[in-house]
Amino acid sequence: QVQLVESGGGLVQAGGSLRLSCAASGSIFGINFMAWYRQAPGKQRELVARISSGTSGGGTNYADSVKGRFTISRDNAKDTVYLQMNSLQPEDTADYYCNAGIRTTELGYFESYWGQGTQVTVSS
Q: How far is CA 3 from the centre of its chain?
A: 14
Q: Taking the CA of residue 57 as centre, how many other CA atoms within 13 Å lie in the half-sphere pointing to its CB?
A: 6
Per-residue pLDDT of 60-113, as tens digits, reads: 999 999 999 999 999 999 999 999 999 999 999 999 999 999 999 988 899 999
Per-residue pLDDT of 11-26, as tens digits, reads: 999 999 999 999 999 9
* Those residues with Cβ within 8 angstroms of residue 97's Cβ, 6 or more apart along the chain or in another chain: 6, 36, 37, 38, 39, 45, 114, 115, 116, 117
Q: Are 83 and 117 in contact (CB under 8 A)?
A: no
Confidence of residue 124 (pLDDT cuts 50, 70, 90): very high
User: Is 107 in a helix, a strand, or coil?
Assistant: coil
Closest of 39, 1, 24 to residue 80, by C-alpha = 24
